[in-house]
Amino acid sequence: MRWISSARVSRSSGGLRVLAALAFLAAAGCHSLEVTNPDNPDVTRALSSGTDVQSLLGGGFLNWYHSLADYSPNMAWDVAADHYISAWGNWGMRYTGWEPRIYPYSNTHTDPGTWTPIGEQIWYDNYSAVVSANLTLKALSGTNPVRIPGPVDSSGNAMVRAAAKFLQGAAMATVAMAYDSGYALDENTDVTTIKLVGRDSVKAMALAKLDQAIALSTGSWSIPTTFLGQGTSPWTAAQLKAAANTWAARTIAYSPRTATENTSAAWNRVLTYAQNGISSGTPFDMSIVGDGGNVYYNLRISVGEDFQIWERTDFRVLCLMDPTYSCHRPNNGAWRPMPQIADWRFTGGGVTGENCIPSELITYSHVKASQYCASIPAGVGTADFIFDSLTADWPGYASSRGYYRWSPVGHIRYWDMSWASPNTFLGTAPFVLAAENDLLWAEALVRTAGSFATAAAKINNSRVTRGHLAALTGTETQAQMLSAIIYERAIELYSTGDRVAYYDARRWSAGLTSPHYYTAANDSVTTGWGPYGTGLQPGTPRIFPVPAQELGLLGYTAQQIYTYGGVVCGADPNACTAMHPDMVVPAHSIFGTTPDGRVILGPGRWNAIADSIQAATRREIRSRLLTRM
């Protein structure tokens, strides 16, 4: 076993800043890192010691995490799913929430303020993470491998191998859930011949890598705290194993783009994975500890929870909680009453018609203290949602952008980490809750005719414990059980998870067929609208295309850049036709060779692009000058 100790090349927060990954990966079979690379001769020093290799893997974890928790595409697609609501142009929210959906996803590399990050961040952050994992495993292979120092890896680099396999699987799975195609590659791939393949192939390789991570996650080690900024509680081997199981369950459950695909998904496999996921044994949430916005932060929470400025709860969620409430707002500025919700996550106590919130939010919101509740019951805590009815424009937020975007309710479960709080980017920020695994477990049982009693218990873990709603008994019908699951997923998982609301909205239903769009001022017709869980609006994309920048690097012309979504409307907004039908790949398919026959460029570019994306985000955070558009 070889120790390599020459000088290191420092890495940026997004991975190695100038890593020429292609040169290293193309040296398969070589037992030395002395690879000639005319584009970057420092590749040998980039991975020159065990410490360098471990640092590289940590950078990969960071890239993967930020693909889950940054502004893009979370903000835009949660609005597209009618889970959140907003009209600000930032991060594409205004356009993905337009009614009717006249704007298709704009697959472009030249609109960094709106569209570009929506399609690029998942792609480049995750493939940068894959490259980091692949290089790590390559450095550990052969007859003369790099040795990772430290007591946790005194024999065989067990932790690093397991963590790298997890990262390979989790990153490619994240791509497979979002895009119509991608690259399926690992440390053994000849990168001079790889081609874009269908998303099912990417998903299959991702699941295989997660299975390998599950098998390797044994022993008494923990991953370094720096991998995910987990403070004093990094994942143990057992927790990494559970996390891999949950990610595999998510991959299968969230990949379907239609209700038909969802029904035919491998729910038996979801069940096996979920039974061993993060809610089994000693449950835990997948979380990071915020460092003030330097490296580890959750923009999904910090912006989404700033209810008075950025986003609010969609009416379709409100009518899910209160079936007597309108699923769509009339086109006028009339004050909207408080929904009558029994769920304690709204009331903050046991009284329907109340909304017990933290005292500091009363002065922050529009509504007077007398409209909340007199006192918070002992031992209950406060509500996850806030009733904050708007009787005038939001600051700078004109009613001309659509009254339908004026929701009287915001989400505040994690408000103390919001942009408005002095504790922004601090504290423990979850990105996958144990409750999410419970609900996948329950759904898999219901869809495979498993134990409804066990499924009811998993649902009740949040439904009863936090919502204080009537307990399910397991004697309910399949339809009733599934309805309870979508309710819990909509309410309990709010503001966590990577685009979970979007994945659920596309897979649970064929979609709304004839929602009424406003044709006149004071139009109060609300027909055709169902609660959240009854599908996406017509013209909402159900999948991402390969990013335009990537297609350009592969030699595709501007005319061959494709996209999905959007509707074309005439004078009547209620009579529209599809612009770019869901999941219909144009004739100039991306599959196969590039148009001019060139081999695909090396993945070293992905690291530089991921670095650039994250650097721009950090500059925005540090300036604290988020301009609302």
DSSP 483-499: HHHHHHHHHHTTT-SSS
> CA 123 to CA 110: how far, in whole Å?
16
The pLDDT score that the predictor gives to residue 190 is: 84
Going from N- to C-terminal start, the domains of the chain cover 21-71+80-91+111-292, 308-411
pTM: 0.89
Task: Note the pLDDT of residue 269.
Answer: 98
| Residues 138, 188 contacting (CB under 8 angstroms) | no
Report the distance separating Cα 35 and Cα 32, nearest Å. 8
Contact yes or no for 177/254 (Cβ under 8 A): yes
* Torsion from C-alpha of 289, 292, 297, 299, nearest 10 degrees: 140
Residue 232: what pLDDT?
85
C-alpha distance from residue 470 to each of 344, 348, 387, 466 (Å): 12, 16, 23, 11
The answer to whether the beta carbons of residues 493 and 435 sit under 8 Å apart is: yes
Q: Are 471 and 464 in contact (CB under 8 A)?
A: yes
Alpha helix segments (H runs only) across 414-514: 434-447, 452-463, 478-492, 500-508
Helix/strand/coil percent split, the chain, to 5? 40, 5, 50
Q: Do residues 214 and 163 lie in contact, with contact meaning Cβ atoms separated by under 8 Å?
A: no
- Give one DSSP letter per residue of 558-593, joined into a string: GGG----EEEEE-S-TTSEEEEE-TT---SS-SSSS
The pLDDT value recorded for residue 46 is: 52
Fold classification of 21-71+80-91+111-292 is: 1.25.40
- Provide the 8-state DSSP code for 19: -
- Listed as ranges, residues in the chain with pLDDT below 70 are 1-48, 142-144, 147, 149-156, 363-372, 374-381, 390-397, 582-611, 613, 621-628
Of the candidates 220, 123, 256, 228, the one whose C-alpha atom is nearest the C-alpha of residue 166 is 228
The pLDDT, as a whole number, for residue 88 is: 87
For residue range 432-474, list pLDDT tens digits in order: 999 999 999 999 999 999 999 999 999 999 999 999 999 999 9
One-letter amino acid of 383: A
Structure confidence at residue 412 (pLDDT): 92
Q: How far is CA 469 from the centre of its chain?
A: 28
Q: Which amino acid would we find at residue 358?
A: P
Whether the ω angle into residue 377 lies within 30 degrees of 0, i.e. cis, is no
Say how far apart CA 133 and CA 59 lie, in whole Å. Answer: 10
Cβ-in-10-Å burial (0-12, 13-18, 19+) of 226 comes to middle
Cα–Cα dist 67/306, whole Å: 21
Distance from C-alpha of 199 to C-alpha of 178, rounded to nearest angstrom: 9
Find the radius of gyration of the CA atoms of the chain. Answer: 24
CA dihedral 61, 64, 66, 71 (to 10 degrees): -170
> Widest CA span of the chain, in angstroms?
76
As a whole number of angstroms, the distance between CA 189 and CA 191 comes to 6
CB within 8 Å of 597: residues ≥ 6 apart: none
